[in-house]
């Protein structure tokens, strides 16, 4: 009583694929964490950067971070003095940040001699 196998049983394949999907989705949540959470403003035109720039983050409550490391409000100059003036600087600011604080940070970065200062936004 031998039966001929004329169909492929795909149920084990589906089981394996679902397990792999669960593994990928759970590890993706761990990989995406690690940045200071800010709600970026939106713009229709955005630049793509190829080099590794200095990342300055300004949160809604006024805290300042350089490359995701917290710094004191008056410590920006001491942290940036160790970097080349030719480095690109990207400023990430929460969309509800006080404009005066944002302008102060940009002015301080430009006053230190950095010329490639840009603002990171989300594409709308």
In tens, the pLDDT along 15-32 reads 999 999 998 888 776 665
Question: For residue 109, what are its two tokens?
Answer: 């970065």
Neighbour-count burial of 89, counting CB atoms closer than 10 A to its CB (0-12 exposed, 13-18 middle, 19+ buried)? buried
Domain range annotation of the chain: 42-123
* The pLDDT of residue 16: 94
More confident residue, 105 or 33: 105
Entry pTM: 0.59
What SS3 state is found at 70? strand
For 42-123, the fitting CATH number among 3.30.420.270, 3.40.50.300, 3.40.1350.10, 2.102.10.10 is 3.30.420.270
* The pLDDT of residue 46: 64
More confident residue, 47 or 14: 14
Do the bridges between strand 64-66 and strand 54-58 make them parallel or antiparallel, or are there none, so unpaired?
A: antiparallel
């Amino acid at each position: 009583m031998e039966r001929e196998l004329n169909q492929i049983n795909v149920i084990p394949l589906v089981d394996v694929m679902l397990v792999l999907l669960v593994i990928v989705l759970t590890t993706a949540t761990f990989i995406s964490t690690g940045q200071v959470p800010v709600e970026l403003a939106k713009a229709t035109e955005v630049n793509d950067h190829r080099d590794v720039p200095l990342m300055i983050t300004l949160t809604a409550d006024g805290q300042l971070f350089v490359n995701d490391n917290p710094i004191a409000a008056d410590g920006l100059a001491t942290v940036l003095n160790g970097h080349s003036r030719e480095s690109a600087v990207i400023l990430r600011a929460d969309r509800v940040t006080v404009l005066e604080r944002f302008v102060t940070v940009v002015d301080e970065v430009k006053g230190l001699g950095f010329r490639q200062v840009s603002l990171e936004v989300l594409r709308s």
